Amino acid sequence: MAMTISYTPEFKRNLRRLAKKYRQIRSDLDPLLQQLQAGDLVGEQIPRLEYTLFKVRVRNRNLQKGKSAGYRVIYYLKTTTQIILVTIYSKSEQGDITAEQIHRILKEFK
């Protein structure tokens, strides 16, 4: 079953900012986007939130340090056929995102 993928303004902003520093980010994200469109729910579900959110590690080929220093993509499974990419950040630049930040991003999107 094919999924539709939407992007929050926060995701788009962060992607643009990261793309200036990491030239291969879009090709690093392609396999993840293909998996999500195919209906595969990848990553770990984030517990204790009212939304069905997942966090996925994505390798940053510009750093050559594996997934642990790569990107984190947070996505929201809104319906059985719709995924919203909430945010993306580089783990080497930022620690974990808080539940409050996720709520703020989703509130702005709706």
Q: Which domain holds residue 79?
A: 4-109
In terms of Cα–Cα distance, which of 30, 14, 32, 35 is closest to 90? Answer: 14
3-state helix, strand, coil in the chain (%, to 5): 35, 25, 35
Distance separating alpha carbons of residues 95 and 42, to the nearest angstrom: 21
Q: Tens-of-pLDDT digits for all 110 residues of the chain?
A: 689 999 999 999 999 999 999 999 999 999 999 999 999 999 999 988 888 999 999 999 888 776 777 999 999 999 989 999 999 999 888 878 888 898 899 888 87
Which pLDDT value is given to residue 36? 95
The number of CA neighbours under 13 Å toward the Cβ of 101 is 11
Domains identified in the chain, total number: 1
Counting every residue, how long is the chain?
A: 110
Which pLDDT value is given to residue 86? 95
Which pLDDT value is given to residue 29? 96
CATH code, 57: 3.30.2310.20
SS3 77: strand
In terms of Cα–Cα distance, which of 40, 110, 53 is closest to 85? Answer: 53
0.85 cut: is pTM over it?
A: yes
